[in-house]
Structure 1
């Protein structure tokens, strides 16, 4: 058995460890924190429990599939809850509730944006076909230019919408900019404004509506805890409180890892699940001439960061599980986040109010509010330690005014602030770019760091900084791609990939198969 070390116990590292252990490798996981999950972990403030990072769980079929590949059933470890409705969008003058039920969406669009019902049907039909074409690009390796010439890649290229932005694409279906934004807000988590984001990413909103959004009882952190439980059953050792000082290299091979305490451990392969920018600048010693080197990485494009408030409050508000509040001038807000990199006074805010779904997260009659404001990453050089209290107060005031959270400040019992500086210094997120490298076309597929990381023969990447990209289920898919590359190298049977399942609302499938 080959000895494989996995650096980092985030969802990518844990998934790769599960798959490789099931395939018969001798796997150990090393994690600097005293908990698993990385950004997909929990925060406990008194009697209140929060997810640290991801709170949207979509592509549930993929998560189930990974557990099935190790001979297990996801529901034996976690309790998924399908959300209905999915989320509420709040504009300056109206609210819009998004559902995975076709009839409900048609009714809501008819009331809120009349005249766009037929456009919504066409959006479902055409985006279903787009997803079918693009899905293989998210499921296979992209380690060389020849991968771009594979038949499924060539078939998908027209769907990448070269030269067409997401707003351009949505304008084909909807005549109201606010409705267009309802299908584009996910793009800011890819590091792009919807006015610059490639039109291919119209699939993101479609995936949510076609396959649903889920909560896990206890929070999404339960997923990585479940993965750790599977690894325990497989006999895989997870070393907590064990930071890595460096990945030890000799010529074109990784010889092992050196721990912070100086101990040198030898292995046959290393799988790196640390934040890519951090790993490249702190753990590896990549030659200057390589595309991905410490000297070149600052010139790449990165996602925004996030300013977080985790609030334990002594009351409950009338809020959906997920609420997205748009800045009154959303385009200016996006430009300030990713372009000029200044703090927006007119901000966009995401609020999770999970107690409407899960009463285990707070004491009776109380609630947890997870508040996220997209902000510039640390290339902005904003002195967050000096302005974070002022920005926090502005966030609270905005929630009180625009969401009607009356006297929110007076109801806070527990509070934690997490700024971009905290993401960088406490969680080793390069430049605080919470969602990793941006997803511009010149940083996707073969132009993104490869799962098999050259120039080393036995170095592998998983996570948001490699192909196919960021987002919890996509990170999980990166782990399967990496595991299959290792199995293929060793002449072993690879893990299969199922076709896309039928949509949550079967009528969407019927619409897309019926054509226009």
Structure 2
């Protein structure tokens, strides 16, 4: 029986472990933290419970498929709650609108705020539908292992059809005129840690997920998903080694032979999947001499995605908030220019998730606010006091009628440095490499090492990209490839 080791119990590693174990393959998962889920980290302070991330869940069928393909009913493990009117957006002048999967509700709002959008919104939905379906059929299901995989005629034709040379902002200007509408839809670029003024219009397909398919929440908190996946993996025979740091992958002649943990224990392997930040974890585990196609000098030149500054604060009461809301900066383009030049935005856009609006059980005594602003990656960024920046955020929110200081009971903050250390994230980036260029958008690092054929990669820093559904897809794709290879051996 093959011995597979997965390094990292994030969603990609969990998905791979379930797929492999369901086929009778022996799997050991090593995780340096005490829980499964990676960035899907649970945080509790008294009666206030928070999901560090992700807060916005889309593509529920991807997560359900992990369970269904293992022969079980996902509803026996967790429950989806659909948020029909999911995100309230505010501009600097106080104007606002709510994003909804109800097309009539959207058009009714556009008729008051953006008449041009009211007449073009259905065309927008048709186009993002097309972008999504092309991506789903041509990119998501494939495990890319070499340049040849990208060069197939059918894939090349698909790339040409998903607007690779048009920028996201330019694409949205075809359908929206009101500055707030443009900001709200351009914000999808942040879901991949990038700028809407630089990333391809291809990623506008995220609009299909939120505005047609819908935004979801998992009852009990989104971290319930990671717990459910861990439970299923254990039921299938997966062995987890929590609080166990893998420090080295020993390589023989072009093959990984064994892993070594911090306490000196060794396990021999047939295949190993690295479910972590490729840019950070791979070079830390494999000596450079064994990875000539992925040298340290190459890594240092990579443009990372944005990081984040997060405040989790529990309040003594309920404020006028729905599940998701965004308070935009005055000059959105300037904000991204600052971020990718290593500066903390002077006027940051603020995102707030308040899951207690949907699920009071996670925070029975008041709102549980997860507040996130985009931050520059670590190294070469301007120094800032996180405490002072927190106060800047609170002051801006007070100007929008949210007196957080007055109702604050518990509070915790995390910045890019802690994100880098806690999650082994390259320069604290949330999504690995940014998608601010054509190359980084469509030629993501492959899911298999070019130099060591039994080392595979799953996670947001490799194909098909960032975001929880993509991470799960990457884990499934790698597992399917290993299973196929095993059948052919």
Whether the TM-score (by the shorter chain) exceeds 0.5 is yes
Given that 1:17 and 1:27 are in contact with CA atoms closer than 8 Å, whether structure 2 keeps it comes out as yes
> For residue 314 of structure 1, what is the aligned residue in structure 2?
316
Residue 481 in 1 paired to residue 477 in 2? yes
> For residue 327 of structure 2, what is the aligned residue in structure 1?
325
Runs of 4+ off more than 4 Å: none
User: Where do 1:318-357 residues align within 5 Å?
Assistant: 318-338=320-340, 340-357=341-358
> For residue 103 of structure 1, what is the aligned residue in structure 2?
104
Give secondary structure in 2 for the equivalent of 1:379: coil
Given that 1:6 and 1:17 are in contact with CA atoms closer than 8 Å, whether structure 2 keeps it comes out as yes
Given that 1:133 and 1:155 are in contact with CA atoms closer than 8 Å, whether structure 2 keeps it comes out as no
5+ residue gaps, structure 1 = 494-516
Per-residue CA shift, 1:403-443, capped at 9, x if unaligned? x112x113211111101011112222111112221123212
Q: Partners in 1 of 2:108 and 2:292 — Cα distance?
A: 54
Given that 1:45 and 1:414 are in contact with CA atoms closer than 8 Å, whether structure 2 keeps it comes out as yes
Q: CA deviation at 1:288?
A: 8.3
Q: CA deviation at 1:222?
A: 0.6
> For residue 232 of structure 2, what is the aligned residue in structure 1?
230
Cα–Cα, structure 1 residues 253 and 190, in superposed 2: closer, same or farther, change >3 Å? Answer: same
User: Where do 1:43-192 residues align within 5 Å?
Assistant: 43-93=43-93, 94-135=95-136, 136-192=138-194
Given that 1:280 and 1:293 are in contact with CA atoms closer than 8 Å, whether structure 2 keeps it comes out as no
Q: CA deviation at 1:52?
A: 1.4
Per-residue CA shift, 1:4-57, capped at 9, x if unaligned? 011011101001000010112100111111111110120111221100121111
Given that 1:48 and 1:362 are in contact with CA atoms closer than 8 Å, whether structure 2 keeps it comes out as yes
Give secondary structure in 1 for the equivalent of 2:85: coil
Residue 409 in 1 paired to residue 410 in 2? no
Given that 2:290 and 2:452 are in contact with CA atoms closer than 8 Å, whether structure 1 keeps it comes out as no
Bigger shift: 475-484 or 288-297? 288-297
Cα–Cα, structure 1 residues 35 and 158, in superposed 2: closer, same or farther, change >3 Å? Answer: same
Given that 2:193 and 2:434 are in contact with CA atoms closer than 8 Å, whether structure 1 keeps it comes out as yes
Q: CA deviation at 1:485?
A: 1.4
Q: Partners in 2 of 1:198 and 1:290 — Cα distance?
A: 30
Q: Partners in 2 of 1:212 and 1:287 — Cα distance?
A: 47
Per-residue CA shift, 1:480-510, capped at 9, x if unaligned? 11112112222369xxxxxxxxxxxxxxxxx
5+ residue gaps, structure 2 = none
Q: Number of aligned pairs?
A: 486
Q: CA deviation at 1:100?
A: 0.6
Residue 428 in 1 paired to residue 424 in 2? yes
TM-score, structure 1 length as denominator?
0.91
TM-score, structure 2 length as denominator?
0.96
Q: CA deviation at 1:289?
A: 7.2
Cα–Cα, structure 1 residues 343 and 87, in superposed 2: closer, same or farther, change >3 Å? Answer: same
Cα–Cα, structure 1 residues 206 and 162, in superposed 2: closer, same or farther, change >3 Å? Answer: same
Given that 1:292 and 1:449 are in contact with CA atoms closer than 8 Å, whether structure 2 keeps it comes out as no
Given that 2:15 and 2:472 are in contact with CA atoms closer than 8 Å, whether structure 1 keeps it comes out as yes
User: Where do 1:460-471 residues align within 5 Å?
Assistant: 460-471=456-467
Q: CA deviation at 1:291?
A: 3.9
Q: Partners in 2 of 1:305 and 1:32 — Cα distance?
A: 21
Q: Partners in 1 of 2:86 and 2:141 — Cα distance?
A: 26
Per-residue CA shift, 1:304-358, capped at 9, x if unaligned? 00000010111110111000111111111111112x2111121111100111100
Q: Partners in 2 of 1:344 and 1:127 — Cα distance?
A: 30
Per-residue CA shift, 1:84-103, capped at 9, x if unaligned? 20211111231011101111
Q: CA deviation at 1:76?
A: 0.9
> For residue 393 of structure 2, what is the aligned residue in structure 1?
395
Residue 8 in 1 paired to residue 5 in 2? no
